[in-house]
Amino acid sequence: MATPKKPPVPRAKADDYSEDAAQARRDFAREQTGADLTHASHYSIDPASVRGNVENFFGAAQVPIGLAGPLLIHGEHARGEFYVPLATTEGTLVASYNRGMRLLAASGGVKTTVVEQFMQRAPVFFFEDARRAREFGAWVESHLDDIRRAAEATSRIAKLSHIEQYAVGPMRYLRFNYTTGDAAGQNMVGKATFAACEWIKSEYPEGARYTLSGGIDTDKKHSQLNTLHSRGRRVIAEAMIPRETIREMMGVDTNTMFRARQASNAGAMLAGSVNNGAHAANGITALFIATGQDVANVAESHAAIVYTQLQDNGDYYWSITLPSLIVATYGGGTGLATQREMLEMLGCYGPGKSDKLAEIIAATVLAGETSLSSAVLAGDWVSSHEELGRNRP
Amino acid sequence: MATPKKPPVPRAKADDYSEDAAQARRDFAREQTGADLTHASHYSIDPASVRGNVENFFGAAQVPIGLAGPLLIHGEHARGEFYVPLATTEGTLVASYNRGMRLLAASGGVKTTVVEQFMQRAPVFFFEDARRAREFGAWVESHLDDIRRAAEATSRIAKLSHIEQYAVGPMRYLRFNYTTGDAAGQNMVGKATFAACEWIKSEYPEGARYTLSGGIDTDKKHSQLNTLHSRGRRVIAEAMIPRETIREMMGVDTNTMFRARQASNAGAMLAGSVNNGAHAANGITALFIATGQDVANVAESHAAIVYTQLQDNGDYYWSITLPSLIVATYGGGTGLATQREMLEMLGCYGPGKSDKLAEIIAATVLAGETSLSSAVLAGDWVSSHEELGRNRP
Amino acid sequence: MATPKKPPVPRAKADDYSEDAAQARRDFAREQTGADLTHASHYSIDPASVRGNVENFFGAAQVPIGLAGPLLIHGEHARGEFYVPLATTEGTLVASYNRGMRLLAASGGVKTTVVEQFMQRAPVFFFEDARRAREFGAWVESHLDDIRRAAEATSRIAKLSHIEQYAVGPMRYLRFNYTTGDAAGQNMVGKATFAACEWIKSEYPEGARYTLSGGIDTDKKHSQLNTLHSRGRRVIAEAMIPRETIREMMGVDTNTMFRARQASNAGAMLAGSVNNGAHAANGITALFIATGQDVANVAESHAAIVYTQLQDNGDYYWSITLPSLIVATYGGGTGLATQREMLEMLGCYGPGKSDKLAEIIAATVLAGETSLSSAVLAGDWVSSHEELGRNRP
Amino acid sequence: MATPKKPPVPRAKADDYSEDAAQARRDFAREQTGADLTHASHYSIDPASVRGNVENFFGAAQVPIGLAGPLLIHGEHARGEFYVPLATTEGTLVASYNRGMRLLAASGGVKTTVVEQFMQRAPVFFFEDARRAREFGAWVESHLDDIRRAAEATSRIAKLSHIEQYAVGPMRYLRFNYTTGDAAGQNMVGKATFAACEWIKSEYPEGARYTLSGGIDTDKKHSQLNTLHSRGRRVIAEAMIPRETIREMMGVDTNTMFRARQASNAGAMLAGSVNNGAHAANGITALFIATGQDVANVAESHAAIVYTQLQDNGDYYWSITLPSLIVATYGGGTGLATQREMLEMLGCYGPGKSDKLAEIIAATVLAGETSLSSAVLAGDWVSSHEELGRNRP
């Protein structure tokens, strides 16, 4: 195989977060790749401001943002009508969410509830056999206060809520659950858990070997564990949509809709899908990019459980539960220039706003569900000149 | 509940993709929300260019991009050393991937292979009972050529490869699999499948009711079905990392690494995780944003199977299989100003480049896996002054 | 650790399937363990008849059988009213299934359909890299006829239907799908696949290493793969239950029932359950024991997808899809004395009867679903003096 | 559709558990089906003894039992060498397990550990919206002592350990976890939970509607929830197998074995399998039938996580974790004549023996894993005249 010959990306000794350093890297990139970087260099963010957000900064991606709304939310934190910025390059996405927001507004709005909040780090401890691992588990349980102290000494914000324990072979997986205020918190819980593990290692009489992640955090990936025990915020959006409203605005009958829901539920079981809804990832991603979230958390955040009921009067109760919505309103990318503006538009910038942001995202997701589901069915209805199944399975 | 009182987002009758329209919406947003939009209005993309990418355009998110590399790839489409633009707001991400790229380069580079490519749309057909649904399935199989003709008439590019069939109750789920060239293809396969379904409905003697999506496409969400049958491209990145190289560069022994891999595999089984690796979503998301991909597809694309083997000489064979990597090099957001520049940096802009882009992404992901996994273990090693387990389970 | 000191179980040189040999082992067991084996020795089966069914035969378990029915089935193979023998030690099971059968009979009976039948063996082939594995896959596809010839030469019955291929890292998993007539077929497909693999190994130009099972058969364990692609028979049982019938016989309204179904669907998504129904395993196991099936296949066979629809007139369409019901009517334990009698009771002994048996089992399962689900809800209804939710989510 | 014409199964008014009643049903069955029931009527169990085990008793299935062992166990409850009765009709099963037991004995025996024990019932409570459901959850938590009192009043044995809570839409799933001593406990926890729910309903200020099972118990079906949180007993069996021992007895090198393990792990991820081992269901089922367990619980009990490590000296550490092994040593079928004899053979009849039985089953399962895995690999080795991959992925 060939050995690499190309030079590393240049770094500035003096100040790597200066415009000069960025320019130097653009020059380097142009030279190495021949690419024109006219647009990538057209940014208004101060290179100094991206320290802690990116290394080897050399430009910015411009992602267009569309405006949807108003979205009427009856949350505990988000209350009133919101205009929602959606950063996307996928045509029809904004229009579709906008349409769903209109439907929900006409239906009286969306109720949103943050049910719980946790952020995890899950080390695994190794022992000689399962019995010793079990003993260790009991010791951890009986030293929870000490462990908490060790963990919480590392941060003003992270609070250790509880530790899940899982036994496999000679191992003990400990899944540390923290609340992290308005930060997403992955880093602070990593630091806290490391401190806790080091304390455990030094104190546990038999000694304890561990690695800081045994793969069940589960960070940057979906797992059933996340669906069960929430990672980030577990948020639920609900609406009661009058039969007439959806018929008029979307051209679909709620009876048809409820019948189709049964097929979607069966389909999710069949496919082994992590979401029995339509396209939560679309709204989540667009809001994540716009507001400076860690967009890779779409991996965890896109899981959902849709639960609906048809009322006797034909109205349609629609809920979506997002078990692992990871959001922040400070730290990470939230302070960057454009991202901050978008958070400000939503009244969500800074401490004390993460629950509000979570509610807005969940409400947006529900809007998208109603819109796309209706579109699929109305298309069918139009094309077939008949309703989807009456008195048929 | 309150009824909505706020006005809808303004649209320009003449040309909604003009700078005037964007400005009008910014004025509107400022007025409604009080937000300053100085930075969101600092873009170089032409509002006319976002037609088909976003509705109600009013600004752009600036996502900082860091440069990593060189990444040495021995693909079938990507060959040589690449500098990789990663758009992210998460500190250490670029540094970590960069470190992994150095390791892989020093190890002789990454081999990448696109194994297969499909894009799906999966309607569900409803019948009176399971027997009629089964008969329908047989009919579909015997009319595959006609169905293909109907589907392919809608596009120059989409080619219908095969139709998976799944029976549940009185339903028949048909999962249409297409190749879509260098487009991601969700829209074209939707259109093609709609045409195919309408043809089926008109020709099937018994009549056929359907909805265009029964939830097993599975679009914008992970499913086991995607892991099995690939959505987008199934891409595999592999490297043989010499024991000495990783020890010197990462401070970890391959023996330690392989032992830890066993815990990660058990952890993935335990958690019901869709990825037994470290953080594929990070690299994928950063490249998706930089290059104008549909970022919501991180939902599908982040699934992975890591498979490694320790060689007799202590060298470490490391592979990661991304079963559902969805990429495009034209259409969607790929033509936007900054996104196009990033694709050009990679030599991936335009038709004929999607396999190359898929290979670069997979190689990048492998770099990130080696880097983060090493960091976790080296941290442990440092802290514990001993290797992770020798002659212990 | 202690070394073992106890003697091995005695075997008879002359004829290990004689009554003498069985008696010798009972004497041995009594001596070693002190157990009384009066009842275990009370069997009517001829020890000579268990050759091929069990080794070291020394007694028989007596599992009590209850009789349920009549069960009215409108299958393609099972037609008419059946009395169903259920071997179980769990009180109320027979009574509950019996009750469900009465309900279904009063509702006009159960429609049953065998949708497809496959038995699998899935070797994995190892290559130097992913690219070579992919090439191998293409070669396999282009040599399917030869491979089929090699496989089918080993058996009069097993017919190779198709080979699924899955790529992971440098491996190619081949999942051979056979039809196996009225045998469950695990052994014959093992033998056939071994022959096919040996042919492949000898013919593939580059050479091919493999192991006969790479864990995705998936034998004796549930997998999503089984739910998708059927292992054994995919059977569907359906009934249309009149609202009045279930109200009178079970004390439950179909509206209540359909509302509860929504919670069960959400619960299955939440738990990551392989069956969104009630207790299919109960009926399957009881029939498996009674009729000499390989009872360990309950692992695969208990998976199910329940799909229901409430009709406009309040009648309740109820279906259950068993994707992996593994049954046989000859071979294995079907020829043993009591097991054969039970098959004969069902008119299912011998070749040509497996589809019929599969239909009877599926109909029985549906009976059990209706009975238990009603009981849970009626209990609730009784206890709460009100219906489960009207006009409430 | 035809209406049913056949008569119901006869029941005896005086004593339905008399031999006369059984005989009457056999006569009935013979008349209705034409089946000979000579063997089904050859049982030694007293019909009076099956009260509580089966309804409409009319005969017994004779399932042949083979004897395997000695199995050397170093458990906390099972200590020493055991002869294990396996009731099966699948040829080679006993021989294969027997072979594995020899290997394990020669390796110094199996270590077994019961890590935890729970039995669940999981009602779901319905509310007007998610917020009220969340409030209810908090109320439950603050009234845990009262709820425990209500639950435990129904049984001397069942102790309420804790209640898991899960929020979906407007619902609150409560998963009650009990210890149930030496009973499997499904019925007692059902009764206890019903009492608890009724108490909750009467006391919760806002009122509470519920159904006793919301599908996440998860009873008679596998779920990821079971794998995570244990249903029945979580038992781990471990052995350290010397390289030479397995080479001599099985003809396989541990290096080969460890390499193959990597493919099995990848295969389990690929297939979405609930068990990355070989065939746990076989041993579990055979012991379940022999010892009077509720065999339908194979559905839950067959899940497993295999975790292995190759030692520096080539020895092979092998563990299997059974997260949901449901066993009993009294109640259910354990008191039936032959079943009781088998429990007595194992020294496991009656109260205080369930942990011991669980350990024996887990050890048996590990024996079966070593045997089948070796056979697959040795077959390959023999056939290929070369080891499975050295210095190859």
More confident residue, A16 or A390: A16
Tokens matching residue A102: 């209109």
Catalytic residue among C128, C129, C145, C385: C385
A224, C259: Cβ pair inside 8 Å? no
Chain A residues with CB-CB distance to D130 below 8 A: 111, 113, 115, 236, 238, 319, 321
The percent helix, strand, coil of chain A (3-state, each to 5) is: 45, 25, 35
pLDDT tier for residue C3 given thresholds of 50, 70 and 90? low
- C325: closest CA of chain B, how far (Å): 14
Tokens matching residue A163: 């530790």
- CB-side neighbour CA atoms (13 Å) of C149: 7
In this complex, the residue of A111, A170, A319 whose CB is nearest that of residue D238 is A170
Phi, psi of C54 (to 5 degrees): -160, 150
Residue C383: pLDDT over 50: no
D236, A169: Cβ pair inside 8 Å? yes
Exposure class string for C126-143: b at 16+ Cβ within 10 A, else e: bbbbbbbbbbbbebbeeb
What value does the mean pLDDT of chain A take? 94
| Number of other residues whose CB lies within 10 A of the CB of residue A387 | 15
Which subunits have 3 or more CB–CB pairs within 8 Å of chain C?
Answer: A, B, D
Tokens matching residue B289: 């944003």
- C140: closest CA of chain B, how far (Å): 15
Query: Which candidate, C123, C331, C122, C300, places its Cα nearest to that of C209?
Result: C123
d(Cα A173, Cα A214) in Å, to the nearest integer? 7
pLDDT tier for residue A378 given thresholds of 50, 70 and 90? confident
If phi > 0 it is left, if psi is from -120 to 50 it is alpha, else beta; for residue A182 that is: alpha
D222 is a catalytic site residue: no
Catalytic residue among B294, B300, B315, B359: B294
D393, B317: Cβ pair inside 8 Å? yes
B95, A55: Cβ pair inside 8 Å? yes
N residues, chain D = 393
- B48: closest CA of chain A, how far (Å): 11
Residue C390: pLDDT over 60: no
Touching A: C residues 238-257, CB under 8 Å: 238, 255
pLDDT at position B3 is: 60
In this complex, the residue of C168, C224, C307 whose CB is nearest that of residue B169 is C307
Cα separations (Å) of C135 from C142, C176, D74? 11, 18, 49
Tokens matching residue C155: 């058996």
What value does the mean pLDDT of chain C take? 94
d(Cα B220, Cα B273) in Å, to the nearest integer? 17
Model confidence pLDDT, tens digit, residues C66-78: 999 999 999 999 9
Tokens matching residue A128: 């000689």
Model confidence pLDDT, tens digit, residues A297-353: 999 999 999 999 999 999 999 999 999 999 999 999 999 999 999 999 999 999 999
pLDDT tier for residue C378 given thresholds of 50, 70 and 90? confident
Burial category of D168 from C-beta neighbours within 10 Å (exposed 0-12, middle 13-18, buried 19 and up): buried
Which segments of chain A does DSSP mark as H helices, in order?
19-33, 93-106, 130-142, 144-152, 186-203, 224-229, 243-250, 254-271, 280-291, 298-301, 337-345, 354-384
The beta-strand segments (E) located in chain D are 57-74, 79-87, 110-121, 124-126, 159-168, 171-179, 209-211, 232-241, 305-310, 316-325
D307, A166: Cβ pair inside 8 Å? no
C393, A265: Cβ pair inside 8 Å? no
> CA angle, corner B132, sides to B130 and B136, nearest 5?
115
Owner of token pair 């716009």 = A290
In this complex, the residue of A224, A263, A305 whose CB is nearest that of residue C266 is A305
Name A31's Cβ contacts closer than 8 Å, sequence gap at least 6. none
Chain C residues with CB-CB distance to B305 below 8 A: 168-169
B130, C238: Cβ pair inside 8 Å? yes
Residue A393: pLDDT over 70: no
* Element (DSSP H or E) covering residue A210: strand A209-211
Asked if the C-beta of C138 comes within 8 angstroms of chain B's C-beta atoms, the answer is: no
d(Cα B362, Cα B327) in Å, to the nearest integer? 11
| Number of other residues whose CB lies within 10 A of the CB of residue B244 | 12
C61, D63: Cβ pair inside 8 Å? yes
| Cα torsion C231, C132, D373, B315: sign | negative
B69, A6: Cβ pair inside 8 Å? yes
Phi, psi of C387 (to 5 degrees): -70, 155
Mutate to test the interface with A, among B44, B55, B346 (most CBs of A within 10 A): B55
A265, C265: Cβ pair inside 8 Å? yes
D305, A169: Cβ pair inside 8 Å? yes
d(Cα B18, Cα A247) in Å, to the nearest integer? 34
Domains and CATH numbers, chain A: 65-116+232-388 (3.90.770.10), 123-211 (3.30.70.420)
Residue A214: pLDDT over 80: yes
Model confidence pLDDT, tens digit, residues C12-53: 999 999 999 999 999 999 999 999 999 999 999 999 999 999
The per-residue pLDDT string of chain B (393 residues; one tens digit each, 9 = 90 and over) reads 456 689 999 999 999 999 999 999 999 999 999 999 999 999 999 999 999 999 999 999 999 999 999 999 999 999 999 999 999 999 999 999 999 999 999 999 999 999 999 999 999 999 999 999 999 999 999 999 999 999 999 999 999 999 999 999 999 999 999 999 888 999 999 999 999 999 999 999 998 999 999 999 999 999 999 999 999 999 999 999 999 999 999 999 999 999 999 999 999 999 999 999 999 999 999 999 999 999 999 999 999 999 999 999 999 999 999 999 999 999 999 999 999 999 999 999 999 999 999 999 999 999 999 999 999 998 753 343 333 334 445
More confident residue, C381 or D184: D184
- Least confident range from A201-215, C96-110, D379-393: namely D379-393
A393, B336: Cβ pair inside 8 Å? no
Owner of token pair 């009122």 = D207
Owner of token pair 């219908």 = B160
In this complex, the residue of B311, B390, B393 whose CB is nearest that of residue D319 is B393
Residues A371, A96: contact at Cβ < 8 Å?
Answer: yes
Q: Which residues of chain D have pLDDT under 50?
A: 1, 381-392
Which subunits have 3 or more CB–CB pairs within 8 Å of chain D?
Answer: A, B, C
d(Cα C337, Cα C332) in Å, to the nearest integer? 12
d(Cα A64, Cα B339) in Å, to the nearest integer? 11
- A253: closest CA of chain C, how far (Å): 13
Residue A389: pLDDT over 90: no
Chain C residues with CB-CB distance to B319 below 8 A: 130, 168-170
pLDDT at position D5 is: 87
B305, D390: Cβ pair inside 8 Å? no
Model confidence pLDDT, tens digit, residues C218-256: 999 999 999 999 999 999 999 999 999 999 999 999 999
Name C316's Cβ contacts closer than 8 Å, sequence gap at least 6. C240, C241, C243, C246, C254, C257, C258, C308, C309, C310
Chain B residues with CB-CB distance to C224 below 8 A: 224-225, 228
Strand pairing class (B316-325; B232-241): antiparallel
Asked if the C-beta of D392 comes within 8 angstroms of chain B's C-beta atoms, the answer is: yes
A116 is a catalytic site residue: no
The four Cα atoms C180, C184, C190, C191 give a dihedral, to 10 degrees, of -60
d(Cα B389, Cα B259) in Å, to the nearest integer? 8
Single-letter amino acid, residue C198: E
- A61: closest CA of chain C, how far (Å): 33
Nearest Cα residue in chain B from C133: B115
Which subunits have 3 or more CB–CB pairs within 8 Å of chain A?
Answer: B, C, D
pLDDT at position A5 is: 87
Asked if the C-beta of B224 comes within 8 angstroms of chain D's C-beta atoms, the answer is: yes
Model confidence pLDDT, tens digit, residues C256-310: 999 999 999 999 999 999 999 999 999 999 999 999 999 999 999 999 999 999 9
pLDDT at position B4 is: 62
The percent helix, strand, coil of chain B (3-state, each to 5) is: 45, 25, 35
Model confidence pLDDT, tens digit, residues A65-107: 999 999 999 999 999 999 999 999 999 999 999 999 999 999 9
In this complex, the residue of A4, A60, A166 whose CB is nearest that of residue B105 is A4
Asked if the C-beta of A319 comes within 8 angstroms of chain B's C-beta atoms, the answer is: no
Chain C residues with CB-CB distance to D97 below 8 A: none
Query: Which candidate, C354, C389, C327, places its Cα nearest to that of C77?
Result: C354
D385 is a catalytic site residue: yes
Tokens matching residue B146: 């006609």
ipTM over 0.90: yes
